[in-house]
Amino acid sequence: MSESTAIAPENRTVIGITFGNSNSSIAFTVDDKAEVIANEDGDRQIPTILSYVDGDEYYGQQAKAFLVRNPKNSVAYFRDFLGQEFKSIDPTHNHASAHPQDVDGVVSFTLKDKDDKKDEEGEVVEEVPASTLSVHEVATRYLRRLVGSASDYLGKKVTSAVITVPTNFNDKQKAALVAAANAAGIEVLQLISEPVAAVLAYDARPESELQDKIVVVADLGGTRSDVAVVASRGGMYTVLATAHDYEFHGVALDKILMDHFAKEFLKRNSSATDPRENARSLAKLRLEAEATKKALSIGANASFSVESLSDGIDFASTVNRLRYETIARSVLEGFNRLVESVVKKAGLDVLDIDEVVLSGGTSHTPRIAQNLSNIFPESTRILAPSTLATAINPSELQARGAALQASLIQEYDAADIDQSTHAAVTTVSHITNAIGVVSLNEAGEEVFVPIVHPETAVPARRTVHVAAPKEGGDVLVKVVEGNTHIKVTKPEPKVKEEVSKSAKVEDADDEDEEDSDFSDDEEQEEEEKREKLWKIGNTLAEAAIHGVKKGGKVEVTINVNADLSVIVTTREVGAKGGVRGQL
Amino acid sequence: MATTVFPLPLPALPEGWAAEKDFKPIGKLTAATSRTLEPIGPHFLAHARRARHKRTFSEDDRIQAQERAKKVEDDNDSEISEPEDPMMLQREAKDWKSQDHYKVLGLSKYRWKATEEQIKKAHRKKVLKHHPDKKAAAGRADDDNFFKCIQKATEVLLDPTKRRQFDSVDEEADVEPPTKKQLQKGNFYKLWGAVFKSEGRFSKVHPVPSFGDDKSTKEDVENFYNFWYNFDSWRTFEYLDEDVPDDNENRDQKRHTERKNANARKKRKVEDNARLRKLLDDCSAGDERIKRFRQEANAAKNKKRLEREAAEKKAAEEAKAAKEAAEKAAKEAEEKAKQDREASKKAKEAAKTAVKKNKRVLRGSVKDANYFVEGDASAATIDAVLGDVELIQGKIDADEIADLAGKLNGLKVADEIKGVWKAEVERLVGAGKIKEGDIKALSA
């Protein structure tokens, strides 16, 4: 991207980087498969923390451990400060580490990153004053370590990377990130948005089929939750709506466990000081609460033990998952509301959503996935470890997506990448209504068969095969626009049985959008029944296919050009020629 | 994208439906919304490729397929398609030291640039063609001379050490420095660039800076020459060694040869370094850029000097002007002072004469009043009156004298004159300048 660091494509060694506010990951691709790299500590999620002890720099898990003993010289949660002015940053999470300061409007930290000069006996001869580092410098140092780990792992110097950013990163923040990476000696091939990186990680699996779908990506992180609705049309992604939340996140869950155990500690040791009132005890509490939370995502029980928590008293306790989910209910439900609000913001209904991708460390929590599966219909696939055995580790999704993208574009020149990601190429028309043909259902009613889904970027080309009438003969291919509406059926016990049967048939047409088990369940629960139905809109064209064989099929290809003109090509499957027309 | 199959049947064609070519366009598409695609994923790259080259789906598919197909062909062929020199095929394998290994393998256009992969492929291709068994099949038994050449060439080129030794003396890869005649045509940068590119193959340090062209910056050019004047070469001359006899009989002979070889290598290395240095000297002597940079530097220096001189001159002129102005001012001040002095002198003299004149009036007035007595005044009276007048004159200043003289001037009547004097005496007594008793004649 930046001219100064452009590297010839053949000399590149590329990785994908997820530079998170809480944790970061690095990934590379081998044989078209993305792998997340474990750093020298063996971590695949590397805490975004730098710590200086006696002039030595520590990062990741080691630095995190120093939050207890050396909070003043440790800096954490700084990613979101990049490219921001001091007045617009939220320093809440930096309370337990180095505090951000305002140096001429630039967010900076004061850290003692050089050791005092000492004589042979270790006596301090001369004190080296703490240095003031801008967040830019901190990010550069951190990225340098991150990339250093990747280089060590790969055995080659990493030259270039694709880095993921939240969708709400503005140009200034992006520029700051690129500058920080360049300063760390990394050519940034591209910045890609986090939710789409997560979708790409799933879609790039060899077993996944290319299909038109609407995906909700819930990226639940440590200090923020970002949810995006992404339309995936023929493998091209368009973000339809996003929401960013700074209330419901992993740290909020940690806080609940911290409070829980602090209260329990006080109950057992009534004379002891509240561990939440002492910075060091609080740090210990926080570290252990996070570990307990992670353990609860895997097992049904987790222990919590801290030596010398407060007043020198050791504390050990356990908590089971049910208890945890009860006390964390308010936060867990917040995630639900957040996801629902974004779907609404996109002008869609939960029934329109085909997939929910859970990404980010907090997504390991089983309850979140379960809650989401309750608000979405059963046909919606919730891609989370607790609901799907084949799900990818949510913490690794973005890094994998970035690594895949990096491997895709590593052969391109920097200028080529720039041109391809230019607004002239990325800004395209998306059709508002679906385009399809009219078929008959069993009752002989006209139903809509979608071929090109709404929000498909043009130019687009789709081909479907539609059955001809059983007896063959001449058929009419009527190309129409269509859109969906949500039909709500009030439960009227037993009487409506017939009606819902026919409705069920209709939604079976709907690309198996809902299956009938779902509606049965709904009915048993005596809840109102909601279903997505296609409505036939404007007729675009009609075409005739003559003499279709018995049991034959008709192929319909719809080609929507960039200028929104439509070319319809239709013929009997296996036959030559066919009808072609433009409108 | 897999084609989706829908089981629900299409409607049958209604009776009487007819259209030209069986197609009836009816409506237009509803207006679309403009949105931003995320530039991520293989399908977006395909989209970008189509958009940038303005291709349709089918065109793009075709071009992509062609590109893929061409690639395969490239891999098969291209590299080793050089015609074989019949003289080369006659070579004896025992003369391997003098053979051009790259040419034997058909890689003469790649030479030191040939990758290991290319060498292996070339070797395989040559083996397939020249294997002795194939010759035998063609009725020429025991014809394995060129095959041995091929084996030797591969042995040398696939061993990095041996390959370097051969590359060091591979004259075919050298590019001769351009002659003056060639340079006159003006291809300076291209010709010398090729020379240094070829010499650069011996560099231990990479990347080797490029020679650049007319537009190279001063920094680049300096960098280039610094690099080359401090060139770190891996070039060795072992390849030209005389064979060391490997029989154990004559150790001295062996050592002698080894020593000779070592000396020869050293000598060649020194010669090579000298050659490179001369090359550089020749090149830099003709390099217009260096001259230009020097001129520019000189111009910059001169500019500084000229500026400094101009500044000095200006300063001197200013100093001179200031000095002159100061002198002028001083002179003027002096003249003015002189005039002032003279004026004040004149004024003083005028005042003195006025006082004298006034005093005469005073004295005249008492004389006019006949010293305030009837008839001839006695000498004592005159003395007393004049003494009083003197006394008063001494007590009052010039202005008062003038004032008094003004009052007395023109008076002829003794009483009036006396009145004036009396008034004066009274005033003076009132002012405390004279005691009453001092004045006798005038106050009487």
Among left, alpha and beta (phi > 0; psi -120 to 50; other), residue B265 is alpha
Number of domains observed in the structure of chain B: 3
Cβ neighbors of A93 (< 8 A, separation 6 or more) are A21, A76, A77, A223, A251
Question: How large is the average pLDDT for residues B233-254?
Answer: 82
Q: Report strand pairing: A553-560 vs A566-572.
A: antiparallel
Residue B70: pLDDT band (50, 70, 90) is low
Give the closest-approach CA distance of A229 to chain B in angstroms.
Answer: 12
Q: Is B139 helix (H, G, I), strand (E, B) or coil?
A: coil
pLDDT in tens, A85-125: 888 888 888 888 999 988 888 899 998 888 777 777 777 77
In 3D, which of A59, A91, A93, A89 has the Cα closest to residue A73?
Answer: A59
Given an 8 Å threshold on Cβ–Cβ distance, is A579 in contact with B36? no
pLDDT in tens, B214-224: 888 888 888 88
Same domain membership, residue B241 and residue B198: yes
Helix, strand, coil percentages in chain B from 3-state DSSP, rounded to 5: 65, 5, 30
Q: What is the CATH number of domain A250-329?
A: 3.90.640.10
Same domain membership, residue B142 and residue B124: yes
Tokens matching residue A207: 């077993």
Least confident of A502-506, B36-40, B402-406: A502-506
- Percentage of chain B beyond pLDDT 90 is 12
The pLDDT value given to residue A520: 46
Same domain membership, residue B146 and residue B93: yes
Amino acid at B372: F
A358-376 burial, b if ≥16 CB within 10 A, otherwise e?
Answer: bbbbbbbbbbbbebbbeeb
The pLDDT value given to residue B72: 59
Amino acid at B61: D
Partner B contacted by A202 (CB < 8 A): no
Give the closest-approach CA distance of A465 to chain B in angstroms.
Answer: 5
Chain A residues with CB-CB distance to B32 below 8 A: 429-432, 458, 564
> Does B33 map to a domain?
no
Given an 8 Å threshold on Cβ–Cβ distance, is B37 in contact with A236? yes
Question: How large is the average pLDDT for residues A127-137?
Answer: 88
> Does B38 map to a domain?
no
Give the closest-approach CA distance of A256 to chain B in angstroms.
Answer: 37
**Substitution target from A439, A456, A572 for chain B, most B beta carbons within 10 A:** A439
The domain boundary residue, chosen from B133, B152, B173: B173
pLDDT at B130 over 50: yes
Tokens matching residue B16: 């009487």
In 3D, which of A504, A481, A469, A476 has the Cα closest to residue A558?
Answer: A481
Q: Please name the residues between 342 and 401 in chain A that touch chain B, using a CB distance below 8 Å.
A: 401
The pLDDT value given to residue A422: 85
Helix B218-229 crosses helix B288-368 at what angle (to 10 degrees)? 130
Q: Is B135 helix (H, G, I), strand (E, B) or coil?
A: helix
Q: Are A186 and A149 in contact (CB under 8 A)?
A: no
The CATH class of A434-487+531-582 is mainly beta
The pLDDT value given to residue A24: 95
Let me know if A538 is exposed, middle or buried by CB neighbors in 10 A (0-12, 13-18, 19+).
middle
> Does B440 map to a domain?
no
ipTM over 0.85: no
Indicate the CATH number of A207-245+337-394 among 3.30.420.40, 3.40.640.10, 3.30.565.10, 3.30.70.920: 3.30.420.40
Given an 8 Å threshold on Cβ–Cβ distance, is A237 in contact with B38? yes
Q: Please name the residues between 495 and 514 in chain A that touch chain B, using a CB distance below 8 Å.
A: 509, 511
The domain boundary residue, chosen from B264, B286, B308: B286
Q: How many CB atoms lie within 10 A of CB A155?
A: 7
**Main-chain dihedrals φ then ψ at residue A466, nearest 5 degrees:** -120, 140
Radius of gyration of chain A (CA): 28
Same domain membership, residue B258 and residue B187: yes
- Output B410 or B240, whichever has higher pLDDT: B240
The pLDDT value given to residue B116: 85
Q: Please name the residues between 246 and 305 in chain A that touch chain B, using a CB distance below 8 Å.
A: none
Question: How large is the average pLDDT for residues B69-81?
Answer: 58
Residue A54: pLDDT band (50, 70, 90) is confident
The pLDDT value given to residue A522: 43
What's the CA gap between A515 and A507, in Å, rounded? Answer: 7
Q: Hey, which residues does A190 pair with through a beta bridge?
A: A162
CATH of the domain at B359: 1.10.8.840
Residue A143: pLDDT band (50, 70, 90) is very high
Same domain membership, residue B195 and residue B138: no
> Does B232 map to a domain?
yes
pLDDT in tens, B97-123: 888 888 888 888 888 888 888 888 888
Q: Are A6 and A16 in contact (CB under 8 A)?
A: no
- Output A209 or A358, whichever has higher pLDDT: A358
- Output A354 or A6, whichever has higher pLDDT: A354
Q: Are B108 and B82 in contact (CB under 8 A)?
A: yes
The pLDDT value given to residue B2: 62
Question: How large is the average pLDDT for residues A360-386?
Answer: 92
pLDDT at B80 over 60: no
pLDDT in tens, B298-312: 999 899 999 999 999
Nearest CA in chain B to A193: B38
Partner A contacted by B22 (CB < 8 A): yes
The pLDDT value given to residue A256: 94
Chain B residues with CB-CB distance to A463 below 8 A: 3
Same domain membership, residue B161 and residue B227: no
> Does B437 map to a domain?
no
Q: Report strand pairing: A460-467 vs B4-6.
A: parallel
pLDDT at B28 over 80: yes
The domain boundary residue, chosen from B155, B173, B191: B173
Give the closest-approach CA distance of A468 to chain B in angstroms.
Answer: 5
Fold of the A3-193+400-424 domain: Nucleotidyltransferase; domain 5 (3.30.420)
- Output A494 or A241, whichever has higher pLDDT: A241
CATH of the domain at B169: 1.10.287.110
Same domain membership, residue B197 and residue B152: no
pLDDT in tens, B342-400: 999 999 999 888 888 888 887 787 777 777 776 676 787 788 888 877 888 777 777 77
The pLDDT value given to residue A526: 59
> Does B12 map to a domain?
no
What's the CA gap between B284 and A448, in Å, rounded? Answer: 79
Cβ neighbors of A364 (< 8 A, separation 6 or more) are A294, A297, A298, A385, A386, A394, A395
pLDDT at B443 over 50: yes
Question: How large is the average pLDDT for residues A301-310?
Answer: 92
Q: Report strand pairing: B33-38 vs A187-193.
A: unpaired
- Output B20 or A213, whichever has higher pLDDT: A213
Verify cis geometry, omega within 30 degrees of 0, for the bond prior to B207: yes
CA distance to A245, B40, B44, B46, per residue, from A164 (Å): 18, 11, 17, 21
Same domain membership, residue B123 and residue B108: yes
Residue B267: pLDDT band (50, 70, 90) is very high
Q: Hey, which residues does A10 pair with through a beta bridge?
A: none
Partner A contacted by B45 (CB < 8 A): yes
Helix A497-509 crosses helix A516-524 at what angle (to 10 degrees)? 150
Least confident of A205-209, A346-350, A372-376: A205-209
pLDDT at B13 over 80: yes
Same domain membership, residue B209 and residue B265: yes
- Average pLDDT over chain B, rounded to whole? 83
Whether the domain at A3-193+400-424 and the domain at A207-245+337-394 fall into the same CATH topology: yes
Chain B residues with CB-CB distance to A439 below 8 A: 6, 8-11
Question: How large is the average pLDDT for residues A195-204?
Answer: 93
**Substitution target from A236, A502, A546 for chain B, most B beta carbons within 10 A:** A236
Domain boundaries, chain A: 3-193+400-424, 207-245+337-394, 250-329, 434-487+531-582
Q: Name the residue among B30, B31, B32 with its Cβ closest to that of A458.
A: B32
Question: How large is the average pLDDT for residues A483-505?
Answer: 63
Residue A499: pLDDT band (50, 70, 90) is very low
Give me the domain span that covers residue B233. Answer: 180-286
